[in-house]
Amino acid sequence: MQPVLADVYAAAQVIRGLADGTPLVPSPYMSVQAGADFLLKLENMQPIGAFKLRGALNAVAGVGEAAGVTCCSTGNHGRGVAYAARARGMRAVICMSELVPQAKVDGIRALGAEVRIIGQSQDDAQAEVERLVRDEGLTEISPFDDPLVIAGQATIGLEMLAARPDLDTLLVPLSGGGLAAGVAMAAKAIKPGIRVIGITMDRGAAMHQSIKAGKPVEVEEYPSLADSLGGGIGMHNRLSFPMCRDLLDDIVLVSEEEIYRAMQVLYYEDRIVAEGACVVGLAAVLTGKVKLTGPTATIVTGRNLDMDMFTRVMTGQDIRLGDKVINGVKYDT
């Protein structure tokens, strides 16, 4: 069953004191550029450095006596599950593809979880999750297609509207859709007229392609500065696909060059270290792909990034992403 607003309030009680209450702060630079109040929800301040802790805590709390938990992850969900499982003394096995940056793999292992690197795509890693569930009795915690995960992520929407009831638009990074589905559901239940736009990279955008096709589809995955937005949505997606299809007002795609520039803006103008996935909302506004009609907020989803790559972006160096090269440009302050 799709989660509803009551489930979000219940999730808020479960995570209270553990993964709630991150700041919602104005970005003076972006407010000038956008011509409207532009706010940043700082989920990079969570204990694991990412919003995924909310859904993981809520979902792991719902697991009874079990051999352990497992999940497929591009990094931050795995870190959240590892953190939540360790707190409950449970085994956690996190399955990831070879595209996941080593920094994220190391961060999960540091939390005591077992990491398995499987294949070149999240679909390959998901196959190992299904084997662990079948053969070893682990409970799967989906990064996006789980009602407890979606309800946990939706608490971000509650907090944003509690802090700024006048918000007109929410710009939400979009991958498998757990965050976008949850935030859109909660926000529209509280304020039906609010606009919620999913933002993602223009290569390997699984949810965007699936909504265009009218059903979940597989997409080729590419290395990206917004690596947290990679991966498929699952061919048997039950929740996040229909919720994103029905609740998002639009989906906007941004290029790697636009993400590169927005990462520089967030760092040099707001002094925030964040992953490429965090800045897609800024990129959409800076390029004019989204026009603001009133106070707007986006979610700075996490800070668990490859610092060598981050340093290269901040110093205007060229970046190679697989077969694609982004020509570096120094930021003019």
In tens, the pLDDT along 147-174 reads 999 999 999 999 999 999 999 999 999 9
311 with 234, same domain: the answer is yes
Asked if 57 and 159 sit in the same domain, the reply is no
Mark whether 98 and 215 lie in a shared domain.
no
Number of domains into which the chain is organized: 2
Q: What is the mean pLDDT of the chain?
A: 95
CA–CA distance, 137 with 173 (Å, rounded to integer): 33
For 259-290, the pLDDT digits (tens) are 999 999 999 999 999 999 999 999 999 999 99
Question: Does 41 share its domain with 83?
Answer: no
Contact, 172 vs 180, CB < 8 A? yes
Q: What is the mean pLDDT of residues 307-318?
A: 96
Indicate if 203 and 115 belong to the same structural domain. Answer: no
What would the pLDDT profile of 1-48 be if each residue is shown by its tens digit? 899 999 999 999 999 999 989 999 999 999 999 999 999 999 999 999
Residue 67: alpha-carbon gap to chain centroid = 27
Separation CA 96–CA 75 (nearest Å): 8
Model confidence at 296, pLDDT cuts 50, 70, 90, reads very high
242 plus 104 within the same structural domain = no
CB distance 36 to 295 below 8 Å: yes
Confidence of residue 65 (pLDDT cuts 50, 70, 90): confident
Average pLDDT over residues 187-203: 97
Residue 332 lies in a domain: no
- The Cα diameter of the chain in Å comes to 56
Out of 112, 140, 168, pick the residue that ends a domain. 140
In a domain, 333, yes or no: no
Contact 207, 251 (CB under 8 A): yes
What are the two backbone dihedrals, phi and then psi, of residue 71, each rounded to the nearest 5 degrees? Answer: -160, 160
Q: Is the pLDDT of residue 94 over 90?
A: yes
Residue 71: domain span = 52-140
- Check whether residue 94 and residue 186 sit in a common domain: no
- What's the residue count for the chain? 333
Residue 99: which CATH number? 3.40.50.1100
Q: For residue 230, what pLDDT band results from cuts at 50, 70 and 90?
A: confident
Model pLDDT, residue 216: 96
Indicate if 159 and 270 belong to the same structural domain: yes
Could you tell me if 121 and 24 lie in one domain?
A: no
Residues 12, 130 within the same domain: no
Measured between alpha carbons, how far is 250 from 259 in angstroms, rounded to an integer?
Answer: 19
**Residue where a domain stops, chosen among 88, 113, 140:** 140
Same domain, 238 and 198: yes
Q: Which of 121, 140, 159 is the last residue of a domain?
A: 140
- Reply yes or no on whether the pLDDT at 197 is more than 90: yes
Measured CA to CA, the distance from residue 145 to residue 153 in angstroms comes to 12
Answer yes or no: do 297 and 312 share one domain: yes
Residue scoring higher pLDDT (115 or 234):
115
Question: pLDDT-based confidence at 329, cuts 50/70/90?
Answer: very high
**Average pLDDT value for residue range 57-62:** 95
Q: How sure is the predictor about 101, in pLDDT bands with cuts at 50, 70 and 90?
A: confident
